[in-house]
Amino acid sequence: MRRLGLAALVMLALIVAMHVHGSARHSAWQDCVDERRSAVARVGFSDLALSSSARWLRAPSQTERSAPLSDGPIAFDTDPAGALLGPVEEAP
């Protein structure tokens, strides 16, 4: 029983540490939201710079839906990130 209490205490301490770390990182992130918005305004689109290997991955919101097919007809999806982000829908 004492061991269970000890394990529960260690777990609780880890959860508290996670909360403190998360709060600090989250507030730092909140503090620079204006800077990030200004970056988006300057770049002109809000797509994340997660991949620079293809235009439809770097700026999916600015790319036509058929871009992957246009750029590499009959090609396999050479980039695993292709499965994660797709181009956005167009306005009706």
Query: Would you count residue 9 as binding another protein (CB under 8 A)?
Result: no
User: Least distance to another protein from the beta carbon of 44, Å?
Assistant: 6
Task: Specify the DSSP class assigned to residue 38.
Answer: H
Task: Specify the DSSP class assigned to residue 51.
Answer: -
Distance, in Å, from the CA atom of 8 to the CA atom of 26, rounded to the nearest integer, reads 26
Structure tokens belonging to residue 70: 């246009």
Number of chain positions touching another protein (CB under 8 A):
60
Residue 34, CB-side half-sphere exposure with 13 Å CA sphere: 1
The 12-51 contact track toward another protein, x by CB under 8 A, reads --xx--x--xx--xx-xx--xx-xxxxxxxxxxxx-xxxx
Cβ of 81: how many Cβ atoms within 10 Å? 14
**Which residues contact another protein (rule: CB under 8 A)?**
1, 3-4, 7, 11, 14-15, 18, 21-22, 25-26, 28-29, 32-33, 35-46, 48-53, 55, 57-64, 66-67, 70, 78-86, 88-92
